[in-house]
Amino acid sequence: MELDIDKLNKSFESRIRLGIMSVLMVNDQADFNRLKELLNVTDGNLASHTTALEKAGYISVLKQFIGKKPNTTYAATPEGKLAFNQHLNALENLIKNNK
């Protein structure tokens, strides 16, 4: 039996990107430090993965100052939510159909 993996989204292959999207699917938004803490990653690692998701159109980024400190907040876009749900459904179908 051949596995139908074509429906999996390459943008979500990384565990970090999976984590970012998972957090943003259940929260309206999350800031950089919160994601970094939850995912236990370095600044550079998180920055590269959020940039990739932003370029794909899956997350939006809001940069602002809170007091004198910069703050970067992320949210899943409607396209990102749809793509992530499709990815999860494809994973679920792979598991169900290959038991």
Higher-confidence residue of 15 and 97: namely 15
Q: Say which range, 1-15, 21-35, 76-90, has the weakest mean pLDDT.
A: 1-15
User: Which pLDDT score is estimated for 3?
Assistant: 62
- Contact 8/90 with Cβ under 8 angstroms? yes
Query: Domain-by-domain residue ranges, the chain?
Result: 14-97
Question: Can you give the three-state secondary structure of 28-97, one letter per residue?
Answer: CCEEHHHHHHHHCCCHHHHHHHHHHHHHCCCEEEEEEEECCEEEEEEEECHHHHHHHHHHHHHHHHHHHH
The model's pTM is: 0.90
CATH fold label, 14-97: Arc Repressor Mutant, subunit A (1.10.10)
Average pLDDT, the chain: 93
| Tens digit of each residue's pLDDT (9 = 90 or more) over 30-63 | 999 999 999 999 999 999 999 999 999 999 999 9
